[in-house]
Amino acid sequence: MTIRQRYEGIISIFKEIMPEPKTELHYDTPFHLLLAVILSAQCTDKRINMVTPALFERFPDPESLAAANEDEVFEYIKSVTFPNNK
């Protein structure tokens, strides 16, 4: 079995088991979902949902986040668990 076949098999299982996956994280774009998932590591979804509205407003796309400096981003995420690692 090739890696691609294994991947397609796993995806088909997920599609069968969870045809409409849901998350407790609030987001409006795939980019924001990615940010929320990264921030949620070892933190509660409730806390992430408190932090992300302002973060998403300030950084609506990858370009705006890439242009920011670490200190600015840290101000938005300092209340999440292990902010320096994220």
In a domain, 58, yes or no: yes
In a domain, 43, yes or no: yes
Q: Residue 74 is part of which domain span?
A: 23-85
From 53, 47, 56, 54, select the one nearest 79 (Cα to Cα). Answer: 47
Q: Which is it for the CA torsion 42, 46, 51, 54, positive or negative? A: positive
How many structural domains does the chain have?
A: 1
In a domain, 13, yes or no: no
In a domain, 17, yes or no: no
- pLDDT tens track for 16-41: 999 998 999 999 999 999 999 999 99
In a domain, 12, yes or no: no
Provide the 3-class DSSP secondary structure of residue 71. Answer: helix
Q: What confidence score (pLDDT) does residue 1 get?
A: 87
CA atoms within 13 A on the CB side of 49: 7
Predicted TM-score (pTM) of this structure: 0.77
Q: Which CATH number covers residue 33?
A: 1.10.340.30
In a domain, 9, yes or no: no
In a domain, 42, yes or no: yes
Q: What confidence score (pLDDT) does residue 16 get?
A: 95
